[in-house]
Amino acid sequence: MRVSLPAIVAASLLALPATADQVHVFAAASMRNALDAVAADYMAKSGDKVVISYAGSNALARQIIDGAPADIFISANESWMDEVEAAGLIADNLRRDLLQNTLVLVAGDPSVQGPVDATMDLAGMLDGGKLAMALVESVPAGQYGKAALEHLGLWQVAEPSVAQADNVRAALALVATGEAPLGIVYATDAKAEPRVHVVGEFPDNSYPPATYPAALLTESEDEGDRAFFEALSGEAAGAIFAEQGFRVVN
């Protein structure tokens, strides 16, 4: 089963022309709350305008490769950034690992408890309901979730019950609205949604590191683009990211 939110995704991917006083950022959907706060703080201090388009990293990377105007790309995994780099679209080799995230199992019912490991009775916890995940073959959170379930020996149990959403925030919404009893999302997504609770964290060794690389793109046109790119690694941004549950790299 695949659950799609085309209107929301389409709205988040509107192509906006880059101008000298506007920084256009394509960012993974799981960054929304934290990056909105970082951008607001930066705009208040600099006077520059930052416009952010959120979606799954796969959709954003394809848009960039197809020519969508963006100054900065922040991916939720390295492979989609690799695709953009292979297309020659990263300016002056300006790419760096920015953040890391943690994968968690969430539920709408606060009585659902862990542990989240190989002993978990996933079928019993679902009780005929759906397991909300981002697209398991293309969206980083979905890929990591599938890898974790495979590592724990639970993928065969989970696969028939998976409801795939276009991005991790859409998967989170399925749990928050009660359409799915369980979901696999990032810890930062769970922190941003009061209607879900964390059942438990997946073991770190059960999935590849959820690293968020950021890059300045060849569409970047002015010093404002470079200034915001540098600000993403600054102390003020780091404090906001950490408060939202991200692990700040370096």
Binding site for molybdate: what residues are annotated?
30, 57, 141, 168, 186
What gap in Å lies between CA 190 and CA 147, rounded to an integer?
Answer: 20
Residue 153 Ramachandran class (φ > 0 left, ψ -120 to 50 alpha, else beta): left
Q: Give the DSSP H/E element, type plus range, for residue 81.
A: helix 78-86
Instruction: Name the binding residues.
Output: 30, 57, 141, 168, 186
Contact 187, 102 (CB under 8 A): yes
- Distances in Å between the Cα of 27 and the Cα atoms of 132, 173, 177, 182, 212 are 21, 19, 24, 25, 10
Contact 199, 182 (CB under 8 A): yes
Question: Residue type for 202, please?
Answer: F
